[in-house]
Amino acid sequence: MAATQRYSNVSIALHWLIAVLIIAAFILGNIMVDMRISPTKLKYFSYHKWLGVTVLAFVAVRLISRLMSKAPPYPDNMGKAQTYLANGTHILLYVLMFAVPLSGYFYTLAAGYPVVYLGLFELPVLIAPNPEIKDSLKELHEILNKVMFVLVLLHIAAALKHHFYDKDGLLNRMRPRI
């Protein structure tokens, strides 16, 4: 496949790095909320927050890099409807990659806890503790996670369909060069 038909190396690296971090934050989030209160639970909460903040930072870099370089064109076999669906899913995924960690960040602040990244430095306290919006932000974080979960499944299903059914080489555009 021609080099121009692949994403840039930076985009490919960020795609897989962010994917791993999101999956880790998602799994850890689900595990920690079901745990009984203990020092381990509190430790997991911290790890979860650090993972989420790291996602946010990488997604910001990724969005800038995506806006600065064009994505390679879709394969010819993709019709207009499929192209719109793919672009729509990608835009929604970008929105969620910001909205999910931001909702967790603001929930944590509203609950009155500062976020101390890697236990080293305190991140900006953008809102004062607010018990009135705390529960809504927690619910928002959960709902956005569920929506992102469904979209990610759709995204993976589409990639696999292109690879195994259409056999149009679409997956190669995001394959790391090793």
Q: Which one of 14, 48, 72, 170 is in contact with ligand HEM (CB under 6 A)?
A: 48
Radius of gyration, CA atoms only, the chain? 18
Residue 172 contacts ligand HEM per CB under 6 A: no
Q: Which one of 7, 11, 14, 53 is in contact with ligand HEM (CB under 6 A)?
A: 53
Is the CB of residue 94 less than 8 Å from the CB of residue 101? no
- Minimum CB distance to ligand HEM smaller for 7 or for 105: 105
Measured CA distances, 42 to 24, 28, 32, 171 (Å): 17, 12, 8, 39
**Minimum distance from residue 81 beta carbon to ligand HEM (Å):** 30
**Minimum distance from residue 123 beta carbon to ligand HEM (Å):** 8
Cα 172 from Cα 85, distance rounded (Å): 20
Q: Which one of 101, 110, 170, 173 is in contact with ligand HEM (CB under 6 A)?
A: 101
Cα 91 from Cα 112, distance rounded (Å): 32
- Show Cβ contacts of residue 54 under 8 Å, excluding neighbours closer than 6 positions: 21
Instruction: Look up residue 170 and give its DSSP letter.
Output: G
Residue 62 contacts ligand HEM per CB under 6 A: no
Chain contacts with ligand HEM (rule: CB under 6 A): 22, 25-26, 29-30, 33, 45, 48-49, 52-53, 55, 100-101, 104-105, 107-108, 115, 138, 141-142, 145
